[in-house]
A and B are shown apart, each in its own frame.
Chain A
């Protein structure tokens, strides 16, 4: 059981700056994120795309913004729990008992949801039949490449993940690479390499095809792929890999008794608290009159939610507003003063 003053769900820019604000005012916090890395949408969706509307930062990429936020957290000791999804949030006296997918538990008076549009999950194949083989013969990521040795693997997708795995696995597997169009969005060098392997017969390439069906009793035996002109081909396959990127799903958050509006959570604009005392929502996932889905708004919302946390975490103390330029308390926490 981890005890902390505040638990932040989501390690995107809003979650990171909220952690900064909590630590600055003297509260502890820990961060949980379903992704295996820090940065949220900035790192998953647009690491290389420049952002132009962060105040005082004329231009920076999603990756640069994330790295700057991480270095702003350097003075503080913050525990990150990555590749974990928060599954359950339950009231226990004045605290919230939080459980994650890896079985970690937290006891905290404050839960701050900085979850963007929910947690990232792999995008799946459209045909229903595919579900039956999921995590047995059909995967959306590779955990152990040894299982594919000597087998026929059908790989779907046109980005770097699909191409990299097609190239890597072609060394000791029979590879079908299937993509919905002729153009690939992977790095040019990777596309060239793949085309070479197609020429030398190491990879069978099928473009303008998509998954149509999957067959096999217990184990997958073959798949049907459908061309844009509706022609169907049957491919014998021991394994299928799909790389269609990630999609954001609200996930278990929907079951925590919060006031939801579509995929967002209703909050007040003083504490950014939800209808549940001690549960806050900040950043893209929160909603209130006039809400803007901007990173700068998330920073503001996190700063206010952090102050609200103080009351519940330190009921017998009074929060006093201070500036980092002058407060020796804050400067000490920042490691700028003994």
Chain B
């Protein structure tokens, strides 16, 4: 279990306990967090689960795998700290992670 905090563009904070093994995207979708669409369902094929991760956490997360940056090219307003939340797998190590949701996904 890890506590993940989703911060919406309107600065509302939703802190949720997400089971290990799920992705940060699934934690959001299962708990109806607004702003994460995840159209493709976690296939790294749509870039609509795009989030920003603050620098300290960004560097702690496992690195992006092949293809994630390609997909982020398509995201709405990508930044250097952009990630696809479907590619961040929840574990005890990321307890306390905070992600910021962009103003929109497309």
Could you tell me which A residues sit within 8 Å of B by CB distance?
41, 45-46, 117, 123-124, 126, 157-159, 179-181, 183, 185, 210, 228, 244-245, 247-249, 263, 284, 293
Residues on B with beta carbons closer than 8 Å to the beta carbon of A293: 41
A247: which of B48, B79, B80 is its contact (CB, 8 Å)?
B48
Known interface pairs A248-B39, A263-B37. Does A123 touch B69 (Cβ–Cβ under 8 Å)?
A: no
User: B73–A159 contact, CB under 8 A?
Assistant: yes
- B40 in the interface (beta carbon within 8 A): yes
- B74 in the interface (beta carbon within 8 A): yes
User: B74–A245 contact, CB under 8 A?
Assistant: yes
User: A41–B45 contact, CB under 8 A?
Assistant: yes
Which of B39, B41, B73, B78 has its CB near the most chain A CB atoms (within 10 A)? B73
How far does the alpha carbon of A284 sit from the alpha carbon of B42 in the complex, in Å?
A: 13
SS of A interface (majority): loop
Shortest Cβ distance from B74 into A: residue:
A245
User: A126–B77 contact, CB under 8 A?
Assistant: yes
Contact with A along B19-44 (1 / 0, CB 8 A): 00000000000000000010111010
Q: Report B27-70 residues with CB < 8 Å from chain A CB.
A: 37, 39-41, 43, 45-46, 48, 69-70
Residues on B with beta carbons closer than 8 Å to the beta carbon of A45: 40, 43, 45-46
User: A181–B106 contact, CB under 8 A?
Assistant: no
User: A181–B76 contact, CB under 8 A?
Assistant: no
- Nearest chain A CB to B52 CB, angstrom units: 13
User: A41–B40 contact, CB under 8 A?
Assistant: yes
User: B74–A180 contact, CB under 8 A?
Assistant: no
A-B contact pairs, 12 of them (CB 8 A): A41-B40, A45-B40, A46-B45, A117-B40, A158-B73, A181-B69, A245-B74, A247-B48, A247-B74, A249-B106, A263-B37, A293-B41
How far does the alpha carbon of A117 sit from the alpha carbon of B40 in the complex, in Å?
A: 8
Q: How many residues of B contact A (CB 8 A)?
A: 18
How far does the alpha carbon of A166 sit from the alpha carbon of B78 in the complex, in Å?
A: 22
How far does the alpha carbon of A117 sit from the alpha carbon of B80 in the complex, in Å?
A: 28
Residues on A with beta carbons closer than 8 Å to the beta carbon of B79: 228
User: B73–A181 contact, CB under 8 A?
Assistant: yes
User: A183–B45 contact, CB under 8 A?
Assistant: no
- Nearest chain A CB to B80 CB, angstrom units: 5
Residues on B with beta carbons closer than 8 Å to the beta carbon of A180: 73, 78
How far does the alpha carbon of A157 sit from the alpha carbon of B74 in the complex, in Å?
A: 8
B70: which of A117, A185, A210 is its contact (CB, 8 Å)?
A185
How far does the alpha carbon of A22 sit from the alpha carbon of B70 in the complex, in Å?
A: 39
7 tightest CB-CB pairs across the interface, nearest first?
A185-B70, A247-B106, A45-B45, A245-B74, A117-B39, A126-B77, A244-B74
User: A185–B106 contact, CB under 8 A?
Assistant: no
User: B39–A123 contact, CB under 8 A?
Assistant: no
Residues on A with beta carbons closer than 8 Å to the beta carbon of B48: 247
Residues on A with beta carbons closer than 8 Å to the beta carbon of B39: 117, 247-248, 263
Q: Known A-B contacts: A124-B106, A126-B76. Give 8 more (CB < 8 A).
A: A45-B40, A45-B45, A46-B45, A158-B70, A158-B73, A181-B73, A244-B73, A247-B48
Contact with A along B70-102 (1 / 0, CB 8 A): 100110111110000000000000000000000
- Nearest chain A CB to B57 CB, angstrom units: 19
Residues on B with beta carbons closer than 8 Å to the beta carbon of A124: 106
Which of B46, B48, B69, B74 has its CB near the most chain A CB atoms (within 10 A)? B74
Which of B37, B39, B70, B79 has its CB near the most chain A CB atoms (within 10 A)? B39
How far does the alpha carbon of A163 sit from the alpha carbon of B56 in the complex, in Å?
A: 34
User: B74–A123 contact, CB under 8 A?
Assistant: yes
A46: which of B37, B43, B70, B77 is its contact (CB, 8 Å)?
B43
How far does the alpha carbon of A117 sit from the alpha carbon of B43 in the complex, in Å?
A: 14
